[in-house]
Amino acid sequence: MLAPIVIVGGGFGGLYTALELAKRPNHPPLLLIEPNGRFIFLPFLYELLSGELAQWQLAPRYDNLLAGHGIGWLKDRVSQINPETSKLYTAGGKEISYSRVVIATGSTPFGFGVPGVQAHTQGFHSLSDVERLQALIKQLKNQPQPLQKIAVVGAGPCGVELACKLADLLQGAAVVELLEKGPQCLPNAKAFNRNQALQALQRRDVRLRCHCQVL
Ligand SMILES: Cc1cc2nc3c(=O)[nH]c(=O)nc-3n(C[C@H](O)[C@H](O)[C@H](O)COP(=O)(O)OP(=O)(O)OC[C@H]3O[C@@H](n4cnc5c(N)ncnc54)[C@H](O)[C@@H]3O)c2cc1C
């Protein structure tokens, strides 16, 4: 039997590669290898934070997503690939031959070498990040202290949207500061979009601090 095309990583890149390949007539067997049980639709993570969407709506299970598409799914993590033998190895101890391999393992949050990032900051990239932020919001609202502040570092699209969402959820229980090392928020956006973002930040009293680099 023909060895499968193996797609490593089930984020947007890997999942949609697998689904597109599955539409081709006479395609070889397809195998997606992804260690998590659920695909996360990351652009909706803010709505999960606020409770506007439930986990099942933005994080469907891979077995449901792939059902009926003729794509196998192995819940595992690839640990090694040998292109000379066309074999890969997984953390779960499997050895798998492939005809082609697609690497779609995405990226992981990076602290840019700033001391203390790992130990003292909170990311916004996963379901567990959302749970931790929800707990922090609850704590800030339930035990109000004078001059409570929460800082969002980076005023790109994610930073601006998260700062607005936090301000909505905190309802004045803490000041939200948005720190940006450059001269303005959304540095790569069109002027119209930047103005809209500035208005949204102002409406919520989010303090945007430009030329403010975290060292
Ligand atoms: C809060 C938030 C909002 C966003 N909003 C937008 C938006 O509105 N518009 C937009 O265009 N982009 C947005 N993005 C960015 C977008 O989500 C990413 O660009 C996209 O997820 C990248 O897809 P990817 O498949 O390359 O990687 P990822 O989504 O990171 O997926 C990689 C996958 O590979 C798996 N993996 C890693 N290592 C291995 C291994 N060794 N073996 C097997 N599997 C492995 C991981 O578990 C993961 O599931 C947002 C991101 C965030 C965090």
pLDDT of 153-190, one tens digit each?
Answer: 999 999 999 999 999 999 999 999 999 999 999 989 99
- Banded pLDDT at 111 (limits 50, 70, 90): confident
Does residue 133 lie in a domain region?
yes
What residues flank ligand 1, with Cβ below 6 Å?
8-14, 33-36, 42-43, 45, 77-78, 104-107, 124-125, 158
Give the CATH number for residue 52.
3.50.50.60
- Specify which residues 103 forms β-bridges with: 8
pLDDT of 8-20, one tens digit each?
Answer: 999 999 999 999 9
**End of a domain among 44, 76, 103?**
103
pLDDT of 73-95, one tens digit each?
Answer: 999 999 999 999 999 999 999 99
For residues 99 and 9, state if they share a domain: yes
For residues 52 and 132, state if they share a domain: no
For residues 58 and 148, state if they share a domain: no
Q: Average pLDDT of 53-65?
A: 94
| pLDDT averaged over every residue in the chain | 95
Q: Is the pLDDT of residue 102 over 90?
A: yes
Residue 86 structural domain: 5-103
- Banded pLDDT at 108 (limits 50, 70, 90): confident
For residues 75 and 162, state if they share a domain: no
Does residue 112 lie in a domain region?
no
**End of a domain among 69, 103, 137?**
103
Atom index in ligand 1 nearest the CA of residue 45 equals 1
What integer pLDDT is reported at residue 66 of this predicted model? 96
For residues 180 and 152, state if they share a domain: yes
